[in-house]
């Protein structure tokens, strides 16, 4: 029997897809989530895909007593994957206290409780935002960390530093920090996907809702950047590919294969696509038009960033190989499924 993994924020977008991959790899999972940006129907989707319902605790990771009880109830947790965080760049500029409280207190509580409860490793969801506006693309793990352009990005930088400091102080566990580029798409079964509460803060759910007619038009923030078509460039990575990297990270830590107590990997495809190019890929892949207009630049947005995933490819043994057109089709299939269910 493989050891139990605690997935915080496990009913969220990346958390739910990672739970599926963990269960399919034979790991029992317990999820804790406060359902602030997700709902419990996700558990049904996970169960339909894997034939197994993960254990679920509704609770807030910023409350240490809730976590103490969880560890008392599940004494077999040996690994943690921490997705519990607020994650919208724009919102973080408006609500910095919320972001610092949620993202940092959650991490501190988990790190505090890992040692006493025999947890051997934590996988942390970081972000390419730590590279800020890079001097050179693609970015490697050695690229300089820049001053964060948003409170969200800053919470990721601070979290990486906290993990490193705690482990360097002699803590009895390891960490793998995964710097995501831009996760998109949905599970090919269309049983789970990205379903934010309220108006989407991320590009693809807003795009698919616009294509469905739920939103009037998609705003493209800025067409005057120093890029071929003037719109921002990102490295869009399929969410299932991304989820699989977490399973490899867990296996690496718990199998004592880490080369250092803290390891960092960039998770991207190595290809940069502009927002306008992505809209074009979606339209061609699905045959559905996306009404969009050019709006002003958005505070905190980075002009262009894409990954050099060589380290993840060679050391972690992971590669993002889903073509972007397939990813766009999966996002659209998920949006259609939501419509069938009368949700969107």
Domains and CATH numbers, the chain: 4-184+236-267 (3.40.50.720), 203-234+270-307+322-338 (3.90.25.10)
- pLDDT confidence of residue 89: 82
β-sheet bridge partners, residue 218? 292
pTM, rounded to two decimals? 0.97
Q: What is the pLDDT along the chain (344 residues), one digit of tens a residue?
A: 899 999 999 999 999 999 999 999 999 999 999 999 999 999 999 999 999 999 999 999 999 999 999 999 999 999 999 999 998 888 899 999 999 999 999 999 999 999 999 999 999 999 999 998 999 999 999 999 999 888 999 999 999 999 999 999 999 999 999 999 999 999 999 999 998 778 888 899 999 999 999 999 999 999 999 999 999 999 999 999 999 999 999 999 999 999 999 999 999 999 999 999 999 999 999 999 999 999 999 877 889 999 999 999 999 999 999 999 999 999 999 999 999 998 87
- pLDDT confidence of residue 224: 97
Element (H, E) at 33: strand 29-33
Please give the Cα distance from 216 to 210 (Å, whole number).
6
Spatial neighbors of 280 by CB under 8 A, at least 6 apart, are: none
The number of angstroms, rounded, from the C-alpha of 188 to the middle of its chain's C-alpha atoms is 18
Helix (H, G, I), strand (E, B), or coil: what is residue 206? helix
- pLDDT confidence of residue 327: 98
3-state helix, strand, coil in the chain (%, to 5): 40, 20, 40
β-sheet bridge partners, residue 33? 58
- pLDDT confidence of residue 88: 85
Please give the Cα distance from 185 to 166 (Å, whole number).
34
Pseudo-torsion of CA 190, 192, 197, 199, nearest 10°?
-40
Element (H, E) at 58: strand 55-58
Please give the Cα distance from 99 to 124 (Å, whole number).
16
The number of angstroms, rounded, from the C-alpha of 342 to the middle of its chain's C-alpha atoms is 26
Neighbours of 189 (CB within 10 A): 15
Active site residues: 152
Output the furthest CA–CA distance in the chain (Å, rounded). Answer: 55
| Per-residue tokens: 42 | 């996700």
């Amino acid at each position: 029997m493989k050891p139990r993994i605690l997935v915080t924020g496990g009913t969220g977008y990346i958390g739910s897809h990672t739970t599926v991959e963990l269960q399919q790899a034979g790991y029992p999972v317990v999820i804790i989530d406060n359902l602030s940006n997700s709902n419990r129907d996700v558990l049904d989707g996970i169960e339909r895909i894997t034939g197994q319902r993960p254990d679920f605790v509704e609770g807030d990771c910023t409350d240490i007593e809730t976590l103490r009880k969880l560890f008392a109830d599940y004494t077999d947790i040996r690994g943690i994957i921490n997705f519990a965080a607020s994650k919208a760049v724009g919102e973080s500029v408006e609500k910095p206290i919320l972001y610092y409280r949620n993202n940092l207190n959650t991490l501190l509580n988990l790190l505090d409780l890992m040692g006493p409860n025999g947890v051997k490793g934590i996988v942390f969801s970081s972000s390419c935002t730590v590279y800020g506006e890079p001097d050179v693309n693609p970015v490697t793990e050695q690229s300089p960390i820049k001053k964060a352009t948003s409170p969200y990005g800053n919470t990721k930088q601070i979290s990486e530093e906290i993990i490193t400091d705690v482990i360097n102080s002699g803590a009895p566990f390891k960490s793998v920090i995964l710097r995501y580029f831009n996760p998109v798409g949905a599970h090919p079964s269309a049983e789970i996907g990205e379903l934010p509460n309220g108006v989407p803060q991320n590009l693809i759910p807003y795009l698919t809702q616009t294509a469905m007619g739920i939103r009037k038009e998609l705003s493209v923030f800025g067409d005057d950047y120093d890029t071929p078509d003037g719109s921002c460039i990102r490295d869009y990575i399929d969410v299932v590919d991304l989820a699989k990297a977490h399973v490899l990270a867990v296996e690496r830590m718990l199998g004592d294969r880490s080369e250092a107590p803290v390891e960092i990997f960039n998770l991207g495809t190595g290809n940069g696509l502009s927002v306008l190019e992505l809209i074009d890929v979606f339209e061609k892949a699905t045959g559905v038009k996306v009404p969009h207009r050019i709006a002003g630049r958005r505070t905190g947005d980075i002009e262009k960033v894409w990954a050099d995933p060589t380290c993840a490819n060679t050391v972690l043994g992971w590669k993002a190989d889903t073509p972007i057109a397939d990813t766009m089709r999966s996002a659209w299939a998920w949006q259609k499924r939501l419509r069938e269910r009368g949700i969107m």
